[in-house]
């Protein structure tokens, strides 16, 4: 076999699990070519009319895609196109182009591209993932408008004729939306992060995907045989027979294990010596309840309510929120649902709210800080949650608490919401339980004082790790320092649990650490009462808990607390899981 077909292994970030093999389909952006053309002053109206026609055509196409997406997926993914429509409907953007055509006396393509480049550049500079993606939206829409000005149709992924793995520098949401599900079996892109639109859609479509490959577009040609492992983030070009055999057995083994795990759906997460842990799941939107039930989690330990506020042009009002919360509460009853109040800021921004640009958004105007400063927004949400509490299984949780004062102030607003509803004769649960997230080190350190004021704690390890270790959770450069098993983290968790126990309240963990099957026995041994995990991780965590005894979890935790390095703790955890639940270690790859 010549060099041309030598196996090449590329490593990126797996964002949607599973393994697929197929021919690559390379998408190279065919940008519309145009030349700069001087126009006479009296030609400007015709040029502007061409532009308006192209805008109308673009708007129509976007509406079409959106309708198709709504049918194929759900409202959440289709709403990504709201952002595209916002660009087409942005009066200042459109008027700047029109003014430019009149002032510069050149064809509209030239002005459009310049104005768009300025907008996109300004957004791309903002160092914020959400806004960078808005820059990608602008480029995507402008490409579409330019095609319409040229009277061309886009060379869309939808035209694929056989099942392929789509390889691209990055996929735009419209590319992703126009693909045919029976034709695209995997994605491999050079750019992108777990929160990019491609990743969001890949997960929703359950198509294995790897992003952040840097040079896949150069190393892969259309027609090359490619293997995509969305679990480990590996992409193999021209896989050798040996690789195929290895993946063949991995896939068969994973399938067998998955089928066995399915049989545990109605079983409790109970250790061999009878210690039961509440195994709940995290959700972002009401439709995620399906996955919670399918994967056998009991209740919802974290409903990230802010996702109802993203990718839309207006805030959801009280009744819309109440409907969403009520739907979740009703479907999950009698099991509980913990509704976390708005955690906007950090990397999550609602386009409908005026939120300032910050140098350090994670340390800034985020979560409870934002809510206490915007009592109208907060009160509306509290009233909506209270309305849903008639199901008697709703709990309220405040994010990013860093001191007792914030709990008191939030509590006063909750009381106000109760009084208002009471006066209006709206029914609600007067005893709705209130808890706080422990995700700022200061909260863990004053956990004793917090514990007297609330009914439960839920440890948000994603943020607790970033704030304790000073490691930005979305910065690839410092990922190597992001260590859940760092001794400082274990001590803060332990201290939080001790404080909760002395006050007679319970503690959960809802950060990703809790959903790591290798670390579940450690957390159980440290004394957590509840683990709330991504729905698809629930069967794996349950299996590990059922394979160990509580006393060995306690021994593991005691030993781990003596370790000086996070790596040593991880090694201890891995050893226990390998001994008790080797299949799960296999499944994790």
Stretch that binds ligand PEP, among 46-54, 121-129, 406-414, 457-465 (CB under 6 A): 457-465
- Catalytic, out of 371, 510, 553, 573: 510
Is 460 a binding residue for ligand PEP by CB under 6 A? The answer is: yes
If the CB atoms of residues 192 and 460 are measured against ligand PEP, the closer one turns out to be 460
- Please give the helix or strand (H or E) that residue 289 lies within, else none: helix 289-294
If the CB atoms of residues 400 and 556 are measured against Mg ion, the closer one turns out to be 400
Distance CA 281, CA 266 (A): 14
Residue 271: name the closest of 563, 581, 586, 551 by CA.
Answer: 551
If the CB atoms of residues 189 and 461 are measured against ligand PEP, the closer one turns out to be 461
Q: Which residues touch 522 (CB under 8 Å, ≥6 apart)?
A: 485, 490, 553, 556, 557, 560, 569, 573
Distance CA 6, CA 21 (A): 16
If the CB atoms of residues 441 and 589 are measured against Mg ion, the closer one turns out to be 441
Instruction: Quickly list H helices, 21-90.
Output: 44-72, 75-78, 80-88
Distance CA 383, CA 277 (A): 31
Binds 406: which of ligand PEP, Mg ion, none (CB < 5-8 Å by kind): none
Distance CA 33, CA 16 (A): 35
If the CB atoms of residues 72 and 291 are measured against ligand PEP, the closer one turns out to be 291
480, 481, 487, 488 alpha-carbon torsion, rounded to 10°: -160
Residue 269: name the closest of 530, 446, 506, 59 by CA.
Answer: 530
Closest CB 439 distance from Mg ion, rounded Å: 5
- Catalytic, out of 147, 197, 391, 486: 197
8 Å CB contact between 26 and 167: yes
Sheet holding 19-27, edge to edge: 8-11, 234-237, 225-229, 19-27, 164-168, 184-189, 209-211, 13-16
- Report the sign of the C-alpha dihedral through residues 447, 569, 580, 252, in that order: positive
Binds 391: which of ligand PEP, Mg ion, none (CB < 5-8 Å by kind): none
Is 510 a binding residue for ligand PEP by CB under 6 A? The answer is: yes
8 Å CB contact between 61 and 144: yes
Is 463 a binding residue for ligand PEP by CB under 6 A? The answer is: yes
Tokens 């990397």, residue? 347
β-strand pairing of 13-16 with 8-11: unpaired
SS3 content of the chain, % helix, strand, coil (to 5): 55, 15, 30
Distance CA 523, CA 250 (A): 29
Closest CB 306 distance from ligand PEP, rounded Å: 8
Site string for Mg ion, 447-486 (x = CB under 5 A): -------------x--x-----------------------
Distance CA 228, CA 231 (A): 9
Is 486 a binding residue for ligand PEP by CB under 6 A? The answer is: no
Is 461 a binding residue for ligand PEP by CB under 6 A? The answer is: yes
Closest CB 347 distance from ligand PEP, rounded Å: 9
Stretch that binds ligand PEP, among 89-97, 256-264, 454-462, 486-494 (CB under 6 A): 454-462
Binds 304: which of Mg ion, ligand PEP, none (CB < 5-8 Å by kind): ligand PEP
Annotated catalytic, 510?
yes
For 209, how many CA atoms within 13 A lie in the half-sphere containing its CB? 31
Using CB under 6 A as the binding criterion, the count of chain residues that bind ligand PEP stands at 10
Is 533 a binding residue for ligand PEP by CB under 6 A? The answer is: no
Site string for ligand PEP, 308-347 (x = CB under 6 A): -----------------------------------x----
250 C-beta neighbours (distance < 10 Å), count: 17
Site string for Mg ion, 405-444 (x = CB under 5 A): ----------------------------------x-----
Is 511 a binding residue for ligand PEP by CB under 6 A? The answer is: yes
Q: How far is CA 131 from CA 93, 111, 211, 357, 425, in A?
A: 17, 23, 19, 10, 43
Site for ligand PEP in 373-392 (CB under 6 A): none
Annotated catalytic, 295?
no
Is 190 a binding residue for ligand PEP by CB under 6 A? The answer is: no
Is 217 a binding residue for ligand PEP by CB under 6 A? The answer is: no
Is 304 a binding residue for ligand PEP by CB under 6 A? The answer is: yes
If the CB atoms of residues 380 and 532 are measured against ligand PEP, the closer one turns out to be 532
Stretch that binds ligand PEP, among 3-11, 85-93, 242-250, 461-469 (CB under 6 A): 461-469
Binding residues for ligand PEP, rule: CB under 6 A, are 302, 304, 343, 439, 460-463, 510-511
The residues that touch Mg ion, with contacts defined as CB under 5 A, are: 439, 460, 463
Which positions are catalytic?
197, 510
């Amino acid at each position: 076999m010549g060099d041309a077909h030598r196996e090449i292994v590329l490593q990126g970030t797996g964002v949607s699990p599973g393994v697929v093999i197929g021919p690559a389909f390379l998408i190279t952006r065919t940008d519309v070519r145009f030349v700069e053309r001087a126009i006479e002053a009296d030609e400007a109206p015709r040029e502007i009319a061409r532009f308006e026609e192209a805008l109308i055509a673009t708007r129509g196409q976007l509406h079409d895609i959106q309708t198709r997406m709504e049918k194929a997926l759900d409202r959440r993914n289709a709403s990504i196109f709201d952002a595209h429509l916002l660009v087409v409907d942005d009066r200042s953007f459109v008027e700047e182009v029109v003014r430019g055509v009149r002032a510069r006396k050149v064809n509209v393509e030239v002005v459009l591209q310049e104005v768009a480049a300025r907008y996109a550049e300004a957004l791309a500079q903002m160092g914020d993932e959400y806004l960078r993606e808005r820059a990608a939206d602008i480029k995507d829409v402008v490409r579409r408008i330019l095609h319409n000005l040229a009277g061309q149709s886009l060379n869309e992924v939808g035209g694929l004729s056989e099942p392929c793995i789509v390889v691209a520098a990055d996929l735009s949401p419209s590319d992703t939306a126009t693909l045919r599900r029976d034709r695209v079996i995997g994605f491999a892109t050079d750019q992108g992060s777990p929160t990019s639109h491609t990743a969001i859609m890949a997960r929703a479509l359950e198509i294995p995907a790897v992003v952040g490959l840097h040079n896949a577009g150069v190393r892969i040609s259309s027609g090359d045989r490619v293997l995509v492992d969305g679990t480990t983030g590996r992409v193999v070009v021209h896989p050798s027979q040996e690789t195929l055999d290895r993946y063949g057995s991995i896939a068969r083994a994973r399938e067998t294990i998955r089928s066995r795990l399915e049989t545990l759906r109605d079983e409790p997460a109970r250790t061999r010596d009878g210690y039961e842990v509440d195994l709940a799941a995290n959700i972002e939107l009401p439709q995620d309840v399906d996955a919670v039930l399918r994967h056998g989690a009991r209740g919802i330990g974290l409903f990230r309510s802010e996702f109802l506020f993203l990718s839309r042009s207006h805030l959801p009002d009280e009744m819309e929120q109440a409907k969403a919360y009520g739907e979740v509460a009703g479907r999950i009853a009698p099991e509980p649902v913990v509704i976390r109040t708005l955690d906007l800021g950090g990397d999550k921004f609602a386009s409908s709210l005026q939120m300032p640009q910050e140098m350090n958004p994670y340390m800034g105007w985020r979560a409870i800080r934002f809510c206490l400063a915007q009592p109208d927004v907060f009160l509306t949400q509290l009233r909506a949650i209270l309305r849903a509490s008639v199901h008697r299984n709703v709990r309220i949780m405040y994010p990013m608490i860093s001191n007792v004062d914030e709990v008191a102030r939030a509590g006063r607003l909750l009381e106000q919401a109760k009084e208002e509803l009471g006066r209006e004769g709206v029914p609600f649960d007067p005893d709705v339980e209130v808890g706080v997230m422990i995700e700022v080190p200061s909260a863990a350190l004053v956990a004793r004082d917090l514990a007297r004021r609330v009914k439960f704690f839920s440890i948000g390890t994603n943020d607790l790790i970033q704030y304790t270790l000073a490691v930005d959770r979305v910065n690839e450069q410092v990922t190597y320092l992001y260590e859940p098993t760092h001794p400082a983290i274990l001590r803060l968790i332990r201290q939080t649990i001790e404080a909760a126990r002395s006050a007679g309240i319970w503690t959960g963990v809802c950060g990703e650490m809790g959903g790591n099957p290798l670390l579940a026995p450690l957390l159980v041994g440290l004394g957590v009462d509840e683990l709330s995990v991504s729905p698809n991780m629930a069967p794996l965590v349950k299996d590990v808990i059922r394979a160990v005894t509580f006393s060995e979890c306690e021994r593991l935790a005691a030993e781990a607390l003596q370790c000086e390095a996070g790596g040593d703790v991880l090694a201890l955890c891995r050893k226990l899981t390998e001994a008790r639940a080797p299949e799960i270690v296999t499944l994790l790859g």
